[in-house]
């Protein structure tokens, strides 16, 4: 019979876990402190150890490297109510077999114990500190799966595809993977495929040689070479043109790139993290996104929940943005409970980005040091009026709202806005003309070949607009 050591000071949790493991045929030894744990490990062999983090006499993670060194063949599973990314990273850095935030699924825990018993986990404690300033905020159950997935890719170079709605924090996940991983000393380079004109994206990614095209007056180093030794974050990968997709796939397969207009192949050493707010599978079926590229990118998918599915995090996020605002030179503010409750009741279609912008607006508009419910209610009402004004007053209001919610980076505003608004414009024209491209081009006042080219680049299917 396999012996399991359970280090847990919550008697209710210890009883439930013990009963489940005993039902699976294991013998369970229970203790509630680090001191009792160390005594139990003397002269006794255990197949697996399960340990809480906050114990009666200290932090259950801090001394785990010594435990692993003394018992290198004993897998360790960590349980924790301190459900932060920092805790997940610390758990992974000890070489733990698995990490479970509380509350956890008992069946999943049982499966993990069975797997741990059936393997000889290679423990390799890493003494690197996780450090402060982690980019992700929130302890909700919805974010725990995100944290666990992040910790699983920190010690390898597997390609990650981050999925989620606009404003959920996909780039923050990429930054966390970079900052906490073994490439943290290298560069982190981000590129937004939707914000770059289609005829320039290959040059942006791979660079170009002097004279490669009109305007190429000097050699230019692309994002791949800039990210060498670090991480390349490809945001809005679903908006990448097919030609660029083909070259990207070739680069990922070979580990080499060729600058536009160049002949020499250049070896690159980058970790790829891609992201999209689009569903790529229908695009694959429509032939607008390469299936082989999808499988090359989708090695480890991480899906970010929208803010409406993690309302428990709104308070922590709001207070975090108050702190960030102070660091950026805005007045120091606090927020009361009633105001927080109003924030929690909103759906936040713009997700965390929208909440951030709202908090900054509240800070600027607030007359007192404490933001109260009336101030939040007024801002929320103004936001509702702005949405109504889109219909009433047209394009200008739409543009202002889009700029407020998306906050495009300096230097990308024009191309980002053009990309965002050109697609629905063409969709409208095709709908008005029943999918007839000649009539749509005439309606728009552009050349038919230009329309056809943009339909392909924007991944539109003209037949979908037929009547």
Q: Which helix (H) or strand (E) holds 28?
A: strand 27-31
Mean per-residue pLDDT, 141-150: 86
CA angle, 340 as apex, 337 and 342 as ends, to 5°?
115
Res 124: pLDDT: 32
Where does the pLDDT of residue 349 fall: very low under 50, low under 70, confident under 90, or very high at 90 and above? Answer: confident
CB count in 10 Å sphere of residue 74? 20
**Helix, strand, coil share of the chain (percent; to 5):** 50, 15, 35
Res 321: pLDDT: 93
Place of tokens 């680090």: 34
What is the C-alpha separation between 23 and 324, in angstroms, rounded? 49
Are 126 and 180 in contact, with CB atoms under 8 Å apart? no
pTM of the model: 0.63
* Burial bucket for residue 61 (CB in 10 Å: 0-12, 13-18, 19+): buried
Please name which of 79, 47, 75, 48 lies closest in space to residue 61, comparing C-alpha atoms.
79
Annotate 78-97 with DSSP letters as a single string. EEES--SHHHHHHHHHTT-S
- Alpha helices by DSSP H, 255-313: 280-286, 291-297
Res 121: pLDDT: 33
Q: What is the pLDDT of residues 10-36, one digit of tens each?
A: 899 999 999 999 988 889 999 999 999
More confident residue, 212 or 255: 255
Are 49 and 5 in contact, with CB atoms under 8 Å apart? yes
What is the C-alpha separation between 267 and 263, in angstroms, rounded? 13
CA angle, 212 as apex, 209 and 218 as ends, to 5°?
45
pLDDT of residue 351 exceeding 70: yes
Res 131: pLDDT: 34
More confident residue, 79 or 213: 79
Q: What is the pLDDT of residues 155-172, one digit of tens each?
A: 899 999 999 998 899 999
Mean per-residue pLDDT, 246-269: 91
Are 231 and 179 in contact, with CB atoms under 8 Å apart? no
Reduced to 3 states (helix: H, G, I; strand: E, B; else coil), residue 190 is: strand
Pairing assessment for the beta strands 54-55 and 58-59 based on DSSP bridges: antiparallel
- 103 preceded by a cis bond (ω within 30 of 0): yes
Res 89: pLDDT: 83
What is the C-alpha separation between 458 and 419, in angstroms, rounded? 8
Res 60: pLDDT: 85
CB count in 10 Å sphere of residue 66? 11
pLDDT of residue 293 exceeding 90: yes
Mean per-residue pLDDT, 325-330: 90
Where does the pLDDT of residue 128 fall: very low under 50, low under 70, confident under 90, or very high at 90 and above? Answer: very low
Where does the pLDDT of residue 127 fall: very low under 50, low under 70, confident under 90, or very high at 90 and above? Answer: very low
Q: What is the pLDDT of residues 405-445, one digit of tens each?
A: 677 777 777 777 777 778 778 877 777 776 778 878 878 88
Res 465: pLDDT: 54
3-state secondary structure labels for all residues of 350-399: CHHHHHHHHHHHHHHHCCCCEECHHHHHHHHHHHHHHHHHHHHHCHHHHH
Question: Which residues contact residue 28 at a Cβ distance below 8 angstroms, ignoring those fewer than 6 apart?
Answer: 3, 4, 5, 6, 17, 18, 21, 22
Range among 332-336, 413-417, 444-448 rated most confident: 332-336
Reduced to 3 states (helix: H, G, I; strand: E, B; else coil), residue 167 is: coil
Res 385: pLDDT: 60
Please give the DSSP secondary-structure letter assigned to residue 411.
Answer: T
Burial code (b: 16+ CB inside 10 Å, e: under 16) for 6-32 equals bbbbbeebbeebbebbeeeebebbbbb
Where does the pLDDT of residue 126 fall: very low under 50, low under 70, confident under 90, or very high at 90 and above? Answer: very low
Are 88 and 78 in contact, with CB atoms under 8 Å apart? no
What is the C-alpha separation between 179 and 259, in angstroms, rounded? 28
Res 250: pLDDT: 93
pLDDT of residue 345 exceeding 70: yes
Cα 156 versus chain centre, distance: 17
CB count in 10 Å sphere of residue 408? 18
What is the C-alpha separation between 398 and 384, in angstroms, rounded? 13
Mean per-residue pLDDT, 71-99: 83
CB count in 10 Å sphere of residue 338? 12
Average pLDDT, the chain: 84
Reduced to 3 states (helix: H, G, I; strand: E, B; else coil), residue 312 is: helix
Q: Which helix (H) or strand (E) holds 170?
A: helix 170-180
């Amino acid at each position: 019979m396999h012996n399991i050591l359970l280090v847990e000071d919550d008697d209710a949790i210890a009883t439930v876990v013990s009963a489940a493991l005993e039902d699976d045929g294991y013998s369970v030894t229970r203790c509630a402190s680090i001191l009792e744990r160390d005594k139990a490990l003397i002269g006794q062999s255990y197949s697996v150890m399960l340990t809480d983090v906050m114990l009666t006499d200290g932090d259950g993670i801090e001394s785990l490297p010594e435990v692993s060194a003394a018992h290198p063949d004993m897998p360790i599973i960590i349980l924790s109510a301190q459900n932060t990314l920092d805790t997940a990273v610390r758990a992974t850095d000890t070489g733990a077999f698995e990490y479970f935030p509380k509350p956890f699924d008992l069946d999943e825990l049982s499966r993990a114990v069975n797997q741990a018993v059936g393997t000889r986990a290679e423990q390799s404690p890493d003494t690197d500190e996780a450090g402060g300033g982690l980019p992700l905020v929130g302890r909700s159950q919805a974010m725990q799966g995100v944290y666990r997935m992040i910790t699983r890719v920190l010690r390898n170079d597997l390609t990650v595809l981050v999925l989620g709605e606009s404003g959920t924090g996909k780039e923050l996940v990429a930054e966390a993977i970079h900052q906490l991983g073994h490439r943290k000393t290298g560069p982190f380079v981000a590129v937004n495929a939707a914000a770059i004109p289609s005829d320039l994206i290959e040059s942006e990614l791979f660079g170009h040689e002097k004279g490669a095209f009109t305007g190429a007056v000097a050699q230019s180093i692309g994002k791949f070479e800039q990210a060498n030794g670090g991480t390349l974050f490809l945001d809005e990968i679903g908006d990448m043109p097919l030609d660029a997709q083909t070259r990207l796939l070739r680069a990922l397969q070979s580990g080499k790139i060729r600058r536009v207009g160049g002949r020499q192949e250049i070896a690159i050493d980058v970790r790829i993290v891609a992201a999209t707010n689009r569903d790529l599978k229908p695009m694959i079926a429509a032939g607008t996104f390469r299936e082989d590229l999808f499988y090359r990118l989708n090695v480890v998918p991480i899906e970010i929940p929208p803010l409406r599915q993690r309302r428990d995090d709104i308070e922590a996020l709001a207070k975090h943005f108050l702190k960030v605002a102070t660091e950026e030179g805005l007045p120091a503010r606090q927020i009361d409970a009633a105001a927080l409750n109003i924030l929690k009741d909103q759906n936040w279609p713009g997700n965390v980005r929208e909440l951030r912008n709202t908090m900054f607006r509240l800070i600027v508009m607030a007359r007192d040091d404490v933001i109260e419910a009336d101030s939040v209610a007024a801002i929320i009402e103004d936001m509702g009026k702005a949405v109504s004004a889109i219909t009433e007053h047209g394009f200008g209001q739409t543009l202002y709202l889009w700029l407020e919610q998306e906050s495009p980076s300096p230097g990308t505003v024009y191309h980002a806005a053009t990309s965002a608004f050109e697609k629905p414009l063409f969709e409208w024209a095709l709908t008005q003309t029943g999918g007839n491209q000649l009539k749509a081009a005439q309606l728009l006042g552009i050349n038919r070949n230009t329309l056809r080219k943009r339909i392909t680049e924007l991944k539109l299917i003209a037949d979908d607009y037929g009547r």
